[in-house]
């Protein structure tokens, strides 16, 4: 095991040590490949999670034993059942790993502490809860199988709505006398299609290559500007695959998929990632052997069910708090504008100049995973200050998304979000 330089405990680390209850030996974990830190502030804002109770993590490509195998061996030797009773998604573990090895994204602990206080106070003032989901004008109100099909369809297609064009020229859907953009253009288009008698939430329709064509999808998502909804062909491919999988494994309806999860949110996320390649949002990061699971759309699907059904019926999950923030391109934007997320100069410049962030690259993984970890730290801070708060990563995420959309509507959008064109988020 390499020797690690013992660093002088900077006042910053000592100051934040009380925020997150970890006993830090004040030892830096240098990056496994010793890349120079490019961010001037990085030495100060290395995350507390860089500290480790035990020997620091090395990159997975080195001789680090497989932790899961070790855990299984330990359980076996201790005579405990080797099958863990409850499923886990592994998303938070992967997010922490990326954060511990990130050099282009850092978290400012003081800003997270401040953000936690502000977010909690505003959520309390707005009485923000799962019920806020149904309060949105376009979200379905009925609590039945048709709504499960609507949410499944919505989150199958819930990705990449950004546009290079101005607010007036960007892709938009006119519905119920209003012009809807971004995520809301998706919801409006689905509602409009159902009003027009197009069975857009029916998996039999998705499989019918004569009825459900690219032209029909163009009609479903027709814009009131001359910009088409992005990635239409990719969205059709998602519908086709989902129709086939639902036919082959789940009696053609997503309610059977929900039932198969047997009341576990993590199990439902894992089933979606296992059976539907278009939900399998898992990517390589640096030299790590195991892919990093981000699983944004499987998780937001589970969260939408939970919020829509307010924790009952098809939304009843005993482990809903295992769901993390949804690593899209909007919430990182507000985390950055609140000072919680810092970017290295090269990454910050790329985002400011609206350069597209390369798919599957280190920057993209650092942005997405560190956003998940940042919201987790904010969640822990809220619970630390308010142990009885009924708040989880889902509600913090939903609140942050809705807040950035309110800011955008009021013309206050402060910092740009990173540009990407991906089916994953």
Residues that bind ligand 56B (CB under 6 A): 133, 136, 158-159, 161-162, 182-183, 326, 328-331, 397-398, 401-402, 425
Residue 103 or 156 having the CB closest to ligand 56B = 156
For 181-192, b/e burial (b = at least 16 CB within 10 A) is bbbbbbbbbbbb
In the complex with ligand 56B, the residue whose CB is nearer, 241 or 397, is 397
Nearer to ligand 56B, 41 or 407 (CB): 407
Shorter beta-carbon distance to ligand 56B: residue 99 or 162: 162
Record the tokens describing residue 351, joined without a space. 């985002």
Rounded least distance, CB 296 to ligand 56B, Å: 7
CB atoms within 10 A of CB 118: 11
| Beta-strand pair 173-175/178-180 | antiparallel
Q: How far apart are CB 397 and ligand 56B at their closest, in Å?
A: 5
Smallest separation (angstroms) from ligand 56B to the CB of 315: 13
Distance between CA atoms of 104 and 92, rounded to whole angstroms? Answer: 19
Residue 328 annotated among the catalytic residues of the structure: yes
Helix (H) / strand (E) element for 239: namely helix 232-249
Beta strands 178-180 and 341-343 are unpaired
What is the Cα–Cα distance from 340 to 199, expressed in whole angstroms?
43
Closer residue to ligand 56B (CB): 50 or 403:
403
Q: Residue length, the chain?
A: 425
Q: Within 10 A of 289 (CB to CB), how many other CB atoms are there?
A: 10
Which residue is at the shortest CB distance from ligand 56B? 182
Name the active-site residue from 100, 275, 304, 328: 328
Min dist. Cβ of residue 329 to ligand 56B (A)? 6
Q: How far is the CB of 204 from ligand 56B (least distance, A)?
A: 26
Report DSSP letters for 284-335, one per residue.
Answer: --TT-SSPEE--HHHHHHHHHHHHHTTTSGGG--TTGGG------SSHHHHH
Nearer to ligand 56B, 120 or 398 (CB): 398
The DSSP element (H or E) to which 350 belongs, if any, is helix 345-352
- Which phi and psi angles does 318 have, rounded to 5°? -70, -20
Strands 178-180 and 282-283: unpaired
CA angle in degrees (0–180, nearest 5) for 261-264-268? 50
Distance CA 218, CA 51 (A): 51
Cβ count near 197 (within 10 Å): 7
Phi, then psi, of 206 in degrees rounded to 5: -60, -30
Q: What is residue 267's three-state secondary structure?
A: helix
When the beta carbons of 104 and 397 are compared against ligand 56B, the nearer one is 397
CB 136 → ligand 56B: shortest distance, Å? Answer: 5
Q: What is the smallest separation between the CB atom of 406 and ligand 56B, expressed in angstroms?
A: 10
Catalytic (active-site) positions: 328
């Amino acid at each position: 095991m390499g020797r690690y330089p013992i660093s002088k405990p900077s006042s910053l680390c000592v100051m934040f040590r009380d925020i997150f209850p970890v006993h830090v030996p004040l030892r830096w974990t240098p990056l496994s490949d010793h890349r120079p830190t490019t961010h001037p502030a990085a030495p100060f804002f290395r995350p507390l999670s860089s500290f480790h109770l035990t020997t620091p993590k090395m990159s997975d490509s080195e001789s680090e034993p497989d932790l899961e195998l070790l855990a299984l061996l330990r359980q076996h030797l201790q005579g405990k059942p080797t099958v863990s009773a409850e499923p886990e998604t592994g998303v938070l573990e992967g997010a922490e790993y990326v954060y511990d090895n990130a050099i282009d994204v850092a978290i400012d602990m003081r800003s997270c502490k401040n953000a936690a206080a502000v977010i909690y106070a505003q959520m309390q003032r707005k009485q923000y809860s799962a019920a806020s989901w149904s309060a949105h004008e376009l979200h379905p109100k009925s609590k039945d199988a048709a709504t499960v099909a609507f949410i499944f369809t919505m989150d199958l297609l819930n990705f990449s709505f950004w546009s290079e064009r101005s607010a007036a020229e960007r892709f938009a859907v006119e519905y119920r006398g209003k012009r809807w953009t971004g995520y809301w253009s998706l919801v409006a288009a689905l509602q409009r299609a159902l009003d027009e008698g197009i069975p857009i939430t029916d998996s039999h329709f998705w499989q019918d290559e004569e009825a459900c064509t690219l032209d029909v999808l163009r009609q479903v998502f027709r814009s009131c500007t001359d910009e088409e909804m992005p990635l239409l062909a990719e969205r059709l491919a998602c519908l086709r695959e989902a129709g086939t999988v639902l036919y082959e494994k789940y009696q053609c309806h997503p309610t059977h998929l929900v039932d198969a999860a047997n009341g576990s949110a993590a199990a439902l996320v894992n089933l979606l990632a296992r059976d539907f390649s278009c939900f399998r949002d898992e990517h390589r990061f640096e030299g790590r052997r195991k892919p990093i699971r981000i699983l944004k759309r499987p998780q937001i699907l589970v969260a939408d069910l939970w919020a829509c059904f307010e924790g009952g019926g098809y939304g009843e999950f005993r482990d809903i708090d295992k769901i993390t923030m949804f690593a899209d391109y909007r919430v990182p934007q507000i985390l950055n504008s609140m000072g919680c997320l810092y970017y290295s100069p090269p990454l910050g410049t790329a985002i400011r100049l609206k350069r597209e962030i390369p798919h599957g690259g280190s920057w993209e993984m650092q942005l997405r995973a560190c956003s998940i970890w940042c919201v987790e730290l904010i969640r822990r801070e809220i619970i630390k200050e308010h142990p009885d708060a009924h708040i989880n990563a889902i509600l913090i995420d939903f609140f942050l998304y809705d807040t950035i959309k309110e800011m955008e509507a009021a013309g206050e959008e402060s910092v740009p979000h990173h540009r990407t064109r991906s089916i994953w988020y």
